[in-house]
Amino acid sequence: MTDDPIHGKRFAFLGAGIIAGVFIERLLRAQVTEPENILAADIDQPKLDQLRQRFGVKTSRTNRDAADFGDFIFLAVPPGTVKAVLSESCVMVRPDQIVISLAAAVPVWVIESVLCKAVPVVRVIPNTPSLIGAGVNPYVLGKHVSTDQAAIIKNLLSIFGSAIRIEEKDMNAATALTAVGPTYIFPVLRALASAAEAKGIQHGQALALAADLVAGAARLVRETGREPEELKLMIGTRTLNEEQAVVLFTAAFTQAFENISASERKLTS
């Protein structure tokens, strides 16, 4: 194993949708590799054209080309197509490659069962702040991942933000929390910024203030290790109906969890 097992390696993406674009952009922004070391495959030519024009990466309409190309193979296709894509590509996948699935609701064992050989598999559920290296990306390691490969994977995922290894049984709950989570927060930011605008603050300033207060509150929890219930007592004025907020966010999380779990049952039945 080299001193730097990531920089200069080749990255393949099976699928050229939004999440593939997020990961490609982050790899290039972080100067992990060059565009010529990235290849995206998809049957949708306009998506491929867009990635090539934005980032200068290689493209192909054949999944086998991508499977043969990458040291790391990112599976970035819709969950319902995972088995078909892997079945088409598995003959080209080698045991010295690492398959990284970004597909929601598809357990590691399903991926391993479709592959033709003992290949290291990682299941990652990313969230969109990965674009700026501030993602929260829980992951699960497959049974063929070695100790050395586990360290490489941790290092690679850290480029996209916080990488937290969890058990497979906890992935649906983690997905409902982290992957869907930005959709819980963005409306809060919009509401607070809009309220401030209505009182005369310029839009850009209002949005910056709202975004920074959310980031600061989160950092306060992380760095002090104190519970939110304790920290809120540091503020004398509290006007939020907390019971309604708890009901609202709990319902949103629960619905996301149920939807993801239902998708997993359908895909694994």
Which pLDDT value is given to residue 1?
Answer: 39
Which pLDDT value is given to residue 3?
Answer: 60
Q: Given the DSSP bridges, would you call strands 58-60 and 135-141 parallel, antiparallel or unpaired?
A: unpaired
For the chain, residues with pLDDT lower than 70 are 1-3
The answer to whether residues 18 and 76 belong to one domain is: yes
> Which one, of 178, 90, 167, 104, lies nearest residue 134 by Cα?
178
Which pLDDT value is given to residue 90?
Answer: 87
CATH number at residue 205: 1.10.3730.10
Q: Does 1 map to a domain? A: no
Domain encompassing residue 212: 182-268
Residue the block writes with tokens 């597909």: 103
Number of domains in the chain: 2
User: For residue 38, what are the β-bridge partners?
Assistant: 11
The tens digit of pLDDT for each residue in 82-128 reads 999 999 888 899 999 999 999 999 999 999 999 988 999 999 999 99
Q: Does 109 map to a domain? A: yes
Q: What is the CA radius of gyration of the chain?
A: 20
Which pLDDT value is given to residue 269?
Answer: 84
The separation between the first and the last C-alpha atoms of the chain, rounded to the nearest angstrom, is 39
d(CA 238, CA 24): 42
| Amino acid, res. 114 | V
The answer to whether the CB of 72 falls within 8 A of the CB of 5 is no
What the block records as the tokens of 55 is 């980032």
The answer to whether the CB of 99 falls within 8 A of the CB of 93 is yes
Which pLDDT value is given to residue 2?
Answer: 44
The answer to whether residues 43 and 106 belong to one domain is: yes
Residue ending a domain, among 171, 206, 235, is 171
d(CA 107, CA 123): 7
The answer to whether residues 194 and 108 belong to one domain is: no
